Amino acid sequence: MLDHQKINQLRNDLGAEGFAEIVDIFYEEVEEVFGRIQNDGASGTDMHFLKGSGANVGFAAFSKTCQIAEHSLNEGAQADLDAVRSSFYQSKQAFVAEFLEDQS
């Protein structure tokens, strides 16, 4: 679900505060896109953005789910947006349990 190597690399490179700031920005951006999708519908561009953002912070399963949705939308098919949302929240829960509680 999570790319532990990527997450640990980010945490080591950015330090605890920088790492927390990047994660907070990621959460905000995902929620912003989810809001836009709810209001305007999903686009391949939205899924591409989420895919890349997720990969950058080590949310591997979320990134893969967004990639599948991006492909579907770009092919003119419906995307499973419930799967995208579910993958994000499951990944976030695992991330908090594995990495943020570890810092306290």
Q: What is the pLDDT of residues 57-99, one digit of tens each?
A: 999 999 999 999 999 999 999 999 999 999 999 999 999 999 8
- The DSSP element (H or E) to which 94 belongs, if any, is helix 81-95
- pTM of the complete model: 0.93
Which residues, 6 or more positions from 94, have their beta carbon under 8 angstroms from its beta carbon? 1, 2
Q: What is the pLDDT of residues 7-41, one digit of tens each?
A: 999 999 999 899 999 999 999 999 999 999 999 99
